[in-house]
Every structure is written in C-alpha cells, then in structure tokens.
Amino acid sequence: MKKKTISFFLVMSVLLSGCQPFHFKMQNDEGPSAAAKDNDKTSSAAEDGIEMDDREDISVKDETRQASSESGLSLPSDNFNTVIEADGKRLIQNPDNIMALVNKEFTLPESYIPADLVRPSIPFSFGDQQEEKALLRNEAAMALEKLFREAGQAGIELFAVSGYRSYNRQHAIFEAEVEQKGQAKAVEAVANPGQSEHQTGLAIDISSRSNQLLLTQQFEMTLEGKWLKENAHKYGFILRYPKGKESVTGYKYEPWHFRYVGVEAAAVIFDGDLTLEEYFNIVEKI
C-alpha cells in the first residue's frame, strides 16, 4: 500500500543525518526551555573553547529542534516521560502514560503493574489458559479486539501470543536468554527487566497458523504479517521494531511485535516511517 505523502521526507532527511545508536536527543525529560538554552551556545562554541564533538552534538540538537518545528507536531507534556535518576537508571515516574517510551534508556519501576489489565476477547495461541500474557490494558485490549475483528472480516486469521509481562517474568526470560546465547546476543533480542514494553500492558506479539504460531522474522512474508504491517496503525498499533531501524530501537527486527499508542500517533508514525524514538524526536512538548 502506498503511504501518504507528508512533510516527513524533509523532516527525516534532517533527523537521520545525525542519528546515532541510543543517542536519540529526545525531549522526553527536557522542556523546550532547555533546548532554547543550548541554542544560545551554538554561535560562540569556538570562542568558548568547546571541542568539535561538542559542537557537533549541539548541531544535532539544533537540527532536531528544526525538524520538530517543520513537522508541526505537538503533544501535551503529560505524554512525555517524567523520569528520575536512580541506581544508574532513568526511571519512568508516569508509567500509566499511554505514550510511555520504554527502551534501553528509559526503565519502568520494578513494582509497576497496570491497574486496568483485562483479557481481550480474541484467539490466543495457547487457547483458554489463564496466563498473565493474555492481558492488556483496557484501552489497548478494546482496540485489539477491533483489529482482530476487522482482520477476520478481511479473511485474515490472527492469534495473539504474548501481551502483558511482569517485571519478574521478564527477568526470568532475560536470564534464560543470557544463559543460552550470552550477554551480547541476549540484549539484541530480549529487553532487560524494566525495559520491556510488555510490562506496560500496551504491547502484543501476534502470529498466525501460516507461521506455525511462532514469533519469527518469517512472519513478515505471510499474508497475515503483511496485512498487520499495513493496517495495524488504523487501530492505534505500531510495528515497534521495524527492519532497518535496529540502530535506533536497539533491537532486532520483530515483525510480530506491535505497540498501542492510539490512532492519532500511530497514523503519524506509520505515514512517516518512524520509530517511537524518532517520533519523540520531532514532536514538540506543549
């Protein structure tokens, strides 16, 4: 399906020119006033004895602010992460935020459990078993029910594989991956506890009979995987770890992992071929 033509072609050409792994230059815990202060430093960088790398860093921030201005996108401040530094981590203090950005830089509190977890009325790969992974936050669950219902009407049969995952469960999965593949390989595919979107109750892994109900990259080649990639945003879900954006997200391509952000944000992210990190790079806090 041909994506809509929007101004993101200009925005992304600016943004990606300075993109580096895990240095998103996001405004998640900085207000526009902090960015404005950096702007004053740029013109006198050489006179003040700032190193070349520092001047380049300031330039990247300027480009990000320019991209934000050109995009015309804005979000209320409560849609951005509020964080504190603790034990070397940036802990999210407003984890109930539907737009919470959870990744290798922003960590959920160990004690966080969403209060509105429900089981959506959709087919699961494990049937009717009562598992925590069958749960999602209420808003995401209702949206997923609609997605599955309309997929079925289009002849697409989907199965949910894994939704909510507690901190403790994520810890067990991560340790098992480290034991099997080693630390370096584990962190490419499995999130550290507290850094998994599944703990938000807003992420869902999806598969199909045509992919043996497995979570593999072959899912992208199935009719179901292709339909999801092109239609999930209509229901508020984004393909969270897309191909070609591994240096931005920090994870391997996962054609099965979808994250609920709401219809409006999902449409912008889909149309602009963005990751959630890139979206927050160009959206203005208001």
> What is d(CA 106, CA 166) in angstroms, rounded to the nearest whole number?
16
> What is d(CA 233, CA 217) in angstroms, rounded to the nearest whole number?
20
Question: Residue 275 pLDDT > 70, yes or no?
Answer: yes
Question: pTM of the predicted model, to two decimals?
Answer: 0.77
* Confidence grade of residue 2 (pLDDT, cut at 50, 70, 90): very low
Residue 44's pLDDT is what?
A: 38
Q: Are the beta carbons of 113 and 197 closer than 8 angstroms?
A: no
Please write the tens of the pLDDT for every residue from 80-132: 999 999 999 999 999 999 999 999 999 999 999 999 999 999 999 999 999 99
Residue 15's pLDDT is what?
A: 41
Q: Are the beta carbons of 137 and 177 closer than 8 angstroms?
A: no
Question: Residue 48 pLDDT > 50, yes or no?
Answer: no
* Confidence grade of residue 36 (pLDDT, cut at 50, 70, 90): very low
* Confidence grade of residue 148 (pLDDT, cut at 50, 70, 90): very high
Residue 72's pLDDT is what?
A: 76
Residue 56's pLDDT is what?
A: 43
Give the Cβ contact number of residue 45 at 10 Å. 17
Question: Residue 280 pLDDT > 70, yes or no?
Answer: yes
The amino acid at residue 140 is A
Question: Residue 47 pLDDT > 60, yes or no?
Answer: no
Question: Which contiguous run of DSSP H or E holds residue 237?
Answer: strand 237-241
User: Is 278 annotated in the active site?
Assistant: no
Tell me the average pLDDT of the chain: 83
Q: What is the DSSP letter of 250?
A: S
Q: Where are the alpha helices (DSSP H) in 113-253?
A: 138-153, 167-181, 183-189, 223-231, 246-249
Please write the tens of the pLDDT for every residue from 155-210: 999 999 999 999 999 999 999 999 999 999 999 899 999 999 999 999 999 999 99
Question: Which contiguous run of DSSP H or E holds residue 36?
Answer: helix 32-42
Residue 66's pLDDT is what?
A: 55
* Confidence grade of residue 5 (pLDDT, cut at 50, 70, 90): very low
Residue 45's pLDDT is what?
A: 37
From 224, 254, 277, 278, the catalytic residue: 254
Please write the tens of the pLDDT for every residue from 212-227: 999 999 999 999 999 9
The segment with the largest mean pLDDT, out of 10-19, 146-155, 181-190, is 146-155
8-285, what's its fold? Muramoyl-pentapeptide Carboxypeptidase; domain 2 (3.30.1380)
Which of the pair, 84 or 63, is modelled with greater confidence? 84
